[in-house]
Every structure is written in C-alpha cells, then in structure tokens.
Amino acid sequence: MIETLLILFAPLIGGLMYGFERKLRARMQSRQGPPLLQPFYDMWKLIDKQAFIVNPYHTILGVMHFITIWIVVAFIILGQNLLYVIFLHLLSTIFIILAGFSVKSIYSHIGSNRELQAMIAYEPILIMVAVGFFMMNGSFAISTIRENDTSLASLFLLFLAFLMVIQIKLKKSPFDATEAHQEIVGGVEVEFSGVFFEFIYMAKWLEYVFVYLLLMLFAGNNIFLGIGLFFGVFLLVNLVDNATARIKMKHLLRIVLVIGLILGMWNLIGLSYV
C-alpha cells in the first residue's frame, strides 16, 4: 500500500526536492530564492503553453524517457534486482540520447554526444556499486540489501566514487558539461517545448529520487543513517555545486573514469580478500 503511494507520488517528491534544492542554493548565494513549490508552478505554466512538435519520434522518445525512469524508481521502491534497475536506467538515458539525435539542432546533437560520454564515465561505477552490494549481501535484490546491516564502512571507497556519479546525474558543477546551460543551452532538452518539456522536467525530478534512493541503499536497514546520508550528501552536493566551476567534457571523462575506477576496483579487490 505505502509502496504504491510512494511510486505514484514519486514525481511530486522529486519536485519538492528540486524546489528545496533551488531554495538552498539561493540561500547559499545569500539570495532569497524562489518559493518551495516553484517546480509545480513551472509545471502548470508549461501545461498551459503552446507546444511545438519538431518530429514525432523526438516527442515520443522524450515521453518514453520519463516513463522508463518512473518505472526504474518504482522497481527500486518495490525492492527488485539492483542490476536490472541499473540497466533499465541505462535504457531511459538511451531514449533521451536518441531524442537528442533525432532533431537537426546542433546543440541537441552536442548534448546527446556529451550525454553518451558521461554515460561511459558513470556506468562502470554504478555496476561496480552493484557488484559491491552483491559481495556484501550475497544477492542483487534490493529488498535483501535493505534488510541487511549497513555496508557503508566496507563500501566506503565505492561510496566516494558514487558521490561523483551523483554530480553527473544531477548535472551539478563541476560535472555538468552535459547540460551546460550557458554554452549549449541545456543540450538534449533544447528542442522540447510546452507540455513535452514538462515530461523532461519531471524526468529530471525523478532522477533526483533515483539517485538518492540508490544512495540510501548504502545505509542498509538503518533508517536514521539513511536519512542522515541523504541530508549530508544533499548539502555536500549543493555546496560543491556552488563552489566549483564547470570542467570540460574530456576532463570529466578522465577524472571520473580514473578516480572512480581506481576507487571502485580497490574496494572490490579488497573485499574479495577479506
């Protein structure tokens, strides 16, 4: 029952998180910031606006992106297989990349290209996180991971690598070259408008829910640790976002792949000897 409710309201929760984050970021820059419900105001406005359809595939792929990422979140809440969740999430990213390539806009193409490169950077880390959970719990099932004790201490290096994935996935500095609002005006989302942009916007909220749900897996069955992790990382991510500048795509690839892979492999090899 509560799971169904959580799944149904997942976009709303994501929207609240996004609104809270905008507020927090504004306060960090000593600004007033928009109201907490601002993402929902944006949503109603976008529904009321005229929508341009560039081509049908572009639009459908955008909507598919939203639907698949919702399914991913639902699978995490229901406690399904972690590997399956990660690959389904990959599929949802592929949809948005294809959508970006299906129009003629140069910005959209660059955005898709960068999204692909970012995927190459973070996907191995996500899979290594899954393998780490498997080594600790003997199962890929999220429900089992949630029942066992926290594995934060033994997976600490993987946790550090995962923090970089959060920055990429939520498009935060220094790893936000995929979106890069000042240079490529949002990348893949540039050609969406009106209610169809709304789907991309909501998919962005669901991305928040997805990432933070994955993060809370590190806490295992310790709910307070999970909540602590969530707030701690939320603050940290926004602090880093405010304090750093955007780096180039090739530096992103190099930094995330080298540091992430080394941290991850170190952790996994260490685990296999313990």
Interacting residues with another protein (CB under 8 A): 22, 26, 29-35, 38, 41-42, 44-52, 181-182, 185-186, 190-194, 197
Q: How far is the CB of 49 from another protein (least distance, A)?
A: 5
| CB within 8 Å of 207: residues ≥ 6 apart | 14, 69, 169, 170
Which residue reads 């003629």 in tokens?
104
Q: How far is the CB of 26 from another protein (least distance, A)?
A: 6
Instruction: Please give the structure tokens belonging to residue 118.
Output: 């970012």
Q: How far is the CB of 66 from another protein (least distance, A)?
A: 16
Residue 120 CA to residue 129 CA, distance in Å, equals: 15
Query: Are the C-beta atoms of residues 203 and 66 closer than 8 Å to each other?
Result: yes
**Residue 159 or 192 having the CB closest to another protein:** 192
Question: Bridge partners of 66?
Answer: none
Q: How far is the CB of 113 from another protein (least distance, A)?
A: 18
**Residue 49 or 254 having the CB closest to another protein:** 49
**Residue 42 or 123 having the CB closest to another protein:** 42
Please report the DSSP string for 201-252 in residue order: HHHHHHHHHHHHHHHHHTTTT-HHHHHHHHHHHHHHHHHHHHH-----HHHH
Query: Are the C-beta atoms of residues 44 and 236 closer than 8 Å to each other?
Result: no
Q: How far is the CB of 65 from another protein (least distance, A)?
A: 17
**Residue 47 or 227 having the CB closest to another protein:** 47
**Residue 192 or 210 having the CB closest to another protein:** 192
Smallest Cα–Cα separation from 260: which of 172, 188, 159, 191?
A: 159
Q: How far is the CB of 36 from another protein (least distance, A)?
A: 11
Query: Are the C-beta atoms of residues 24 and 66 closer than 8 Å to each other?
Result: no
Residue 142 CA to residue 72 CA, distance in Å, equals: 12
Q: How far is the CB of 60 from another protein (least distance, A)?
A: 18
**Residue 179 or 256 having the CB closest to another protein:** 179
Residue 69 CA to residue 88 CA, distance in Å, equals: 8
**Residue 46 or 164 having the CB closest to another protein:** 46
Query: Are the C-beta atoms of residues 61 and 78 closer than 8 Å to each other?
Result: no
